[in-house]
Amino acid sequence: MKKTASFIFSPEQLNYEFSETHPFNQKRIILTMDLLKEMHSIDPDDIVEPRTATDEELLLAHDAKYIEIVKKASNGEVSESIGSIYGIGTEDTPFFTGMHDASALLVGGTLSAIEEVMEGRSRYALNLGGGLHHGFQGKASGFCIYNDSSVAIKYLQKKYGARVLYVDTDAHHGDGVQWTFYDDPDVCTFSIHETGRYLFPGTGNVTERGNGKGYGTSFNFPVDAFTEDDSFLHIYRTALREVAEYFKPDVILTQNGADAHYFDPLTHLYSTMKIYEEIPKLAKEIAEEYCDGRWIAIGGGGYDIWRVVPRAWSHLWLTMKSIPTPAGPLPEAWVKKWQTESPFPLIETWQDPPNLYEPVPRKKDIEEKNEQMLTRALHVIRKG
């Protein structure tokens, strides 16, 4: 019988670990799963073990030379100066033992998710271990070694001949995926993110629209620092509706970085849990409307792994399972279990408390700027 949703997971996904103090921490996946378990929303039957991506699959989006270097670095055989040419062994993306295997497993997890959906075993699939959107063809960048989305989209094209809409709601621009498909008219990349004025990677301007035959299939929605829920959701909803109607995808891959939250230490957006309740709802709606339901969701950034990510990512799974958005207190057992490890007091309710932050003095300006940006970004498809 076809499942409603598959949850891709194995404990080995946690092997993607740069160091104990590095902000990218896959323990988020355990925290999320545990929260869902306490909600009785996930069963052992829902879990699908990820496979590992083969070299041949990695080559769909990466250079042979780069893969070889990552393999060598896994055994400590690469010097810092050589590594830095390939973006590894840096403070952002340090070497670690077994880095090739750990990275290939995250890519394989996204491929497993795709197979679940495309082979008809499951309507939707979720791989929280994926979403490493900064990885480039020949180099690592911004905590990302192999780019699971790039490999997965190539795989979707090659094996299933699908037109793919990639939707990236991470607070950082989805640059690696965008550049991989910049010339390709059959892949549409959509990224809403904090503007690159301060934030890494700095790209993702509305003017980046694709190149050659791919012109008009890259969409960027850079929102100002301090953007709050209403403006963020307005941009997301308007843009995604119009882009989906314009591109008419066969399948949707969403990258769900959870780092646009006020608490996130790396970014400067002011959203609350509200956007993470809403983002998956529209993704699912669009998938149902255009893709006969085919929706694969993956993880991404998210650096407040205690107060933000578990709640935010739970909504992906709950939406897939059509479980109504919960309100009120989190399961007591979950709070009790993790409070001792968390460096901050946990938020103990599904919704954030009111007055999470001081009112933003430039709110009106920010909303107006975002609105202008939206008009510019959608101009190409609105003019008809």
Q: What amino acid positions are annotated as catalytic residues?
A: 134
Provide φ and ψ at 114, rounded to 5°. Answer: -65, -45
Nearer to another protein, 198 or 344 (CB): 198
Shortest Cβ 169–another protein spacing (Å): 17
Cα separation, 251 vs 287, in Å, equals 7
Q: What is the DSSP code string of 133-163?
A: TT--SS--BTTBSS-HHHHHHHHHHHHH---
Closest of 314, 256, 322, 326 to residue 3, by C-alpha: 322
Q: How many residues does the chain have?
A: 384
Given the structure tokens 């670095």, which residue do they identify? 73
Nearer to another protein, 219 or 226 (CB): 226
Shortest Cβ 275–another protein spacing (Å): 19
Cα separation, 156 vs 162, in Å, equals 6
Q: Which amino acid is at 210?
A: G
Asked if 107 and 88 count as a contact pair (C-beta separation under 8 A), the reply is no
Cis peptide before 201 (omega within 30 of 0): yes
Closest of 344, 168, 330 to residue 258, by C-alpha: 168
Nearer to another protein, 336 or 362 (CB): 362
Secondary structure of residue 341 in the 3-state scheme: coil
Nearer to another protein, 100 or 134 (CB): 134
Shortest Cβ 310–another protein spacing (Å): 21
The distance in angstroms from the start CA to the end CA of the chain is 43
Cα separation, 139 vs 77, in Å, equals 17
Shortest Cβ 190–another protein spacing (Å): 19
Nearer to another protein, 268 or 337 (CB): 268
Shortest Cβ 20–another protein spacing (Å): 15
Asked if 335 and 344 count as a contact pair (C-beta separation under 8 A), the reply is no
Given the structure tokens 């890259």, which residue do they identify? 218
Asked if 107 and 58 count as a contact pair (C-beta separation under 8 A), the reply is yes
Q: With residue 218 as reference, give the H or E element that holds it.
A: strand 218-223
Nearer to another protein, 270 or 290 (CB): 270
Nearer to another protein, 213 or 336 (CB): 213
Asked if 36 and 317 count as a contact pair (C-beta separation under 8 A), the reply is yes
Shortest Cβ 76–another protein spacing (Å): 18
Closest of 6, 84, 79 to residue 44, by C-alpha: 6
Name the residues that contact another protein, by CB under 8 A: 23, 80, 84, 90-92, 134, 141-143, 172, 175, 196-203, 225-226, 265-266, 268, 360-362
Cα separation, 112 vs 99, in Å, equals 20
Cα separation, 208 vs 377, in Å, equals 9
Shortest Cβ 177–another protein spacing (Å): 13
